[in-house]
A and B are shown apart, each in its own frame.
Chain A
């Protein structure tokens, strides 16, 4: 039982390059979330998916797109990376009815 997994763990991109961050969960949770963590800013919600087939914008969606591929997987795509997107990205799921979130290990992204 791996919980929430994220790939890759580290990535360095050049400005303008694109990439997709992958997230998968084996806990059969309906809701999945993408956050970014920046010093002094806490965790900010980028996008979330309350259930398979639905996605909604969070606090900071600009420059990102998401795909809820199936119940297990929720990917985050940067179409044209910018230095302002340098951050640590966390994927999370939530236990329905309890609102407790389970987090992945994070992806550290640097855009030069």
Chain B
């Protein structure tokens, strides 16, 4: 069975500081991993996926199969990054989400 764990429910950092949102997964197959973001009063939207290896809004995430992790990072946080972030894993025709991390950027 696939499982995604986000150990931090809440994360608060100051503007300009680095951000790292943790995500660990368990899955017997080859994982397809994603980060989704939900800004206040908006629907969930895809932030990035590991297969594309792209940087979106300054965020990057590297898949570490040895540590079964897919942490989301940004070197300099901005106030508009405040949102709910979900790590997700695709397998067996469905997407399984972690519990989410609420990121707050303080001015």
Dominant SS among interface residues on chain B: strand
Centre residue among B6, B9, B97 by max chain A CB count within 10 A: B97
Q: How far is the CA of A59 from the CA of B98 in the complex (A)?
A: 13
B43 & A105 in contact (Cβ 8 Å cutoff): yes
Contacts of A10 in B (CB 8 A): none
Q: Which of A20-28, A61-69, A74-82, A94-102 contacts B (4 or more CB under 8 A)?
A: A94-102
Dominant SS among interface residues on chain A: strand
In the complex, the chain B residue whose C-beta lies closest to that of A41 is B99
Q: What 8 A-B pairs come out closest when comparing CB atoms?
A: A42-B99, A99-B90, A43-B97, A103-B44, A42-B100, A103-B43, A42-B97, A105-B43
Contacts of A105 in B (CB 8 A): 43
Centre residue among B9, B32, B34, B43 by max chain A CB count within 10 A: B43
Q: Please give the distance in Å from B103's CB to the nearest CB on chain A.
A: 14
Question: Which residues of A line the B interface, CB within 8 A?
Answer: 31, 33, 35, 40-45, 48, 50, 56, 58-59, 90, 92, 94, 99-101, 103-106
Q: How far is the CA of A34 from the CA of B49 in the complex (A)?
A: 21
B44 & A45 in contact (Cβ 8 Å cutoff): no
The number of chain B residues with a CB under 8 A from chain A is 20
Q: Total A-B residue pairs with C-beta atoms closer than 8 Å?
A: 50
Per-residue CB proximity of B69-107 to A under 8 Å, as 1/0?
A: 000000000000000001000100111111110000000
A40 & B96 in contact (Cβ 8 Å cutoff): no
Partner of A90, one of B32, B44, B93, B96: B44
Q: How far is the CA of A103 from the CA of B32 in the complex (A)?
A: 18
A42 & B93 in contact (Cβ 8 Å cutoff): no
Known contacts A31-B93, A33-B95, A48-B93; A100 and B100 CB within 8 A of each other:
no
Q: Please give the distance in Å from B79's CB to the nearest CB on chain A.
A: 23
